[in-house]
């Protein structure tokens, strides 16, 4: 008989709040891991991981870093043949709201302790290159001497072009040291947060010419690389062979996540086949949904001393997840779209239910469902849902066709219990 897991084990069997770092817990995605590995060993290839919210981009990026630093557990697990272990100096950075341009990004990479700063201190040539960089916010960030000046605010003495040059020189000085066999890998997560991306691809191109052995892996929500970097002409060759476009996970992959979670608690609590099927169905390809729902279902089972989770347990938990706003952002988007209208809720749900297997929604299918539930003029509510007032969750793609802006939200809509009860039509 398996031993009873601790509360901590239960709470961490699923991890909706965290990407997967541990290769043993990384499910599926074989082709994409393989593509990533090949991109890492291909000279001159940069990597772009693109896909929807909650689809697993950051988790894959973590695995790319593992592989780039010689930790081959995942490659072994999924039986991908390798040469020598890779040896990159890997630097991970997540862009935020304050990252306005790619120059800001470079500046952050230079001045962050977890990025380049410590290397700059250690390598004299890099330090000399960095000392040329004195924008007002970071005066004294690099100089070991001249502490006196460190509190002073100077006007920027270098143009934006200066940041690019300084970055190039610093990275060049670091790679010249030959500390790592394969050079430097920069993984830039949430790249789509950068407000103005113009010039980044041009910069990458120049960097590649001036410094061998530098690779960028940019990660973000986008349909294609062009959309991600917003520069059309320059991007093609830079990312040739390195574009990892993450689709929804397959049912088998999502089931694997559930099995891995069960295993982490020695299968003390189990999802019966119905519960598994239901959890996979509700996730609609998004591992985030599997982790989110799975976590709370498991917690409830543990609290109630249950050891078998069935389909009905999942439905029960969904209501609790919605009512307590476990994911406050998705929940507030739902509330904003529905607001006080039962009819708009019906239309929103009709759209998400119809969408399931395709990207586009044909309005006729959705209207039919809405009419069946007593909404007389569904088109009016579709009209609402495309506007900012209701969150602009729906986008018109062409005449009579719409799609959800964010497939994760669509999955949440279908999974979430209704605000307005079905029976009370009127
Ligand atoms: N291959 C995977 N195996 C298991 N869980 C995964 C996998 N990829 C993603 N997840 C889980 O899905 C959720 C979303 O993943 P994340 O990497 O943060 O996605 P994104 O960066 O695309 O938003 C997280 O809870 C993460 O733990
Ligand atoms: Mg992410």
Q: pLDDT tens digits, residue range 34-56?
A: 999 999 999 989 999 999 999 99
CA angle 293, 295, 300 (to 5 degrees): 95
130-186: per-residue pLDDT in tens?
777 655 334 445 544 433 334 333 334 445 558 888 899 889 988 888 888 999 999
| pTM: predicted TM-score of the whole model, two decimal places | 0.89
In terms of Cβ atoms closer than 10 Å to its own Cβ (0-12, 13-18, 19+), residue 8 is exposed
Question: Is pLDDT above 80 for 125?
Answer: no
DSSP letters of 134-161?
A: --GGGTTSS-SS-GGGGG--PPP-S-HH
pLDDT at residue 152, rounded to an integer: 37
> What's the CA gap between 397 and 345, in Å, rounded?
21
The minimum-distance atom of ligand 1 relative to the CA of 29 is: 1
What is residue 51's three-state secondary structure? strand
Could you tell me which residue, 90 or 136, shows the higher pLDDT? Answer: 90
pLDDT at residue 423, rounded to an integer: 60
Ligand nearest to C-alpha 189: 2
What is residue 383's three-state secondary structure? helix
Establish whether residue 249 lines the binding site of ligand 1, counting it when its CB lies within 6 angstroms of any ligand atom.
no
Cα–Cα separations (whole angstroms), residue 19 to 109, 343, 360 = 22, 37, 29
What is the dihedral sign for C-alpha 220, 224, 225, 227?
Answer: negative
Establish whether residue 220 lines the binding site of ligand 1, counting it when its CB lies within 6 angstroms of any ligand atom.
no
- What's the farthest any 2 CA atoms get from each other in the chain? 76
279-326: per-residue pLDDT in tens?
999 999 999 999 999 999 999 999 998 899 999 999 989 988 998 999
406-419: per-residue pLDDT in tens?
999 999 999 999 99
217-267: per-residue pLDDT in tens?
999 998 888 888 877 666 668 888 899 999 999 999 999 999 999 999 999
User: Using N-to-C axis directions, what is the helix angle for 30-41 and 57-68, rounded to 10°?
Assistant: 50
Radius of gyration, CA atoms only, the chain: 25
In terms of Cβ atoms closer than 10 Å to its own Cβ (0-12, 13-18, 19+), residue 204 is buried
pLDDT at residue 169, rounded to an integer: 87
**Domain range 250-323, its CATH number among 1.10.8.60, 3.30.930.10, 3.30.70.60, 3.10.20.740:** 1.10.8.60
What residue ranges do the domains of the chain occupy?
Answer: 29-246, 250-323, 335-415
pLDDT at residue 136, rounded to an integer: 38
Establish whether residue 291 lines the binding site of ligand 1, counting it when its CB lies within 6 angstroms of any ligand atom.
yes
CATH number corresponding to 335-415: 1.10.10.10
Residue 175 dihedral angles phi and psi, to the nearest 5°: -70, -35
Establish whether residue 32 lines the binding site of ligand 1, counting it when its CB lies within 6 angstroms of any ligand atom.
no
CATH number corresponding to 29-246: 3.40.50.300
CB atoms within 10 A of CB 112: 14
Q: Which of 90, 45, 17 is nearest to 288 (CA)?
A: 17
Asked if domains 250-323 and 335-415 share a fold, the reply is: no
Q: Average pLDDT, stretch 195-224?
A: 90
The span from the first CA to the last CA of the chain, in angstroms, equals 54
Could you tell me which residue, 112 or 276, shows the higher pLDDT? Answer: 276
> What's the CA gap between 173 and 129, in Å, rounded?
8
DSSP bridge pairs for 139: none
Dihedral angle of Cα 98, 99, 104, 109, to the nearest 10 degrees: 100
Ligand nearest to C-alpha 258: 1
């Amino acid at each position: 008989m398996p031993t009873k897991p601790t509360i901590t084990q239960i709470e961490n069997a699923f991890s909706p709040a965290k990407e997967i770092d541990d290769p043993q817990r990384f499910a599926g995605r074989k082709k994409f891991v393989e593509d990533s590995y090949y991109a890492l060993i291909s000279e001159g290839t940069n990597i772009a991981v693109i896909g929807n919210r909650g689809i697993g981009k950051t988790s894959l990026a973590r695995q790319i870093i593992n592989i780039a630093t010689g930790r081959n557990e995942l490659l072994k697990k999924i039986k991908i043949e390798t040469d020598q272990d890779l040896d990159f100096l890997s630097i991970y950075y997540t862009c935020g709201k304050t990252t306005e341009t790619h120059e800001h990004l470079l500046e952050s990479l230079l001045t962050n302790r977890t990025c380049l700063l410590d290397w700059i201190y250690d390598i004299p040539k890099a330090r000399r290159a960095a000392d040329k960089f004195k924008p007002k916010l970071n005066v004294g960030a690099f100089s070991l001497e001249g502490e006196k000046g460190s509190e002073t605010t100077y006007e920027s003495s270098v143009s934006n072009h200066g940041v690019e040059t300084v970055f190039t020189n610093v990275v060049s000085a670091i790679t010249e040291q030959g500390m790592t066999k394969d050079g430097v890998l920069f993984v830039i997560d949430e790249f789509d947060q950068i407000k103005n991306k113009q010039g980044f691809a041009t910069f990458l191109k120049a960097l590649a010419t001036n410094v061998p052995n530098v690779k960028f892996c940019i990660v973000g929500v986008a349909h294609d690389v062009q959309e991600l970097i917003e520069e059309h002409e320059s991007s093609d060759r830079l990312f040739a062979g390195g574009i990892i476009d993450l689709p929804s996970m397959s049912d088998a992959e999502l089931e694997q996540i559930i099995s891995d979670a069960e295993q982490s608690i020695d299968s003390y609590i189990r999802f019966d086949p119905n519960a598994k099927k239901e959890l996979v169905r509700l996730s609609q390809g998004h591992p985030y949904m599997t982790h989110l729902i799975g976590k709370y279902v498991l917690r409830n089972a543990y609290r109630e001393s249950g050891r078998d989770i069935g389909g009905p347990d999942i439905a029960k938990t969904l209501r609790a997840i919605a009512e307590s706003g476990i994911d406050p952002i998705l929940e507030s988007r739902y509330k904003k779209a529905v607001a006080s209208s039962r009819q708009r809720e019906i239309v929103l749900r009709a759209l998400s239910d119809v969408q399931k297997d395709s990207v586009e929604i044909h309005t006729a299918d959705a209207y039919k469902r809405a009419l069946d539930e007593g909404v007389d003029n569904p088109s009016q509510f579709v009209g609402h849902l495309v506007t900012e007032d209701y969150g602009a969750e729906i986008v018109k793609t062409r005449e009579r066709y719409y799609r959800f802006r964010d497939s994760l939200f669509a999955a949440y809509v279908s999974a979430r219990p209704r605000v307005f009860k079905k029976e009370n039509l009127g």
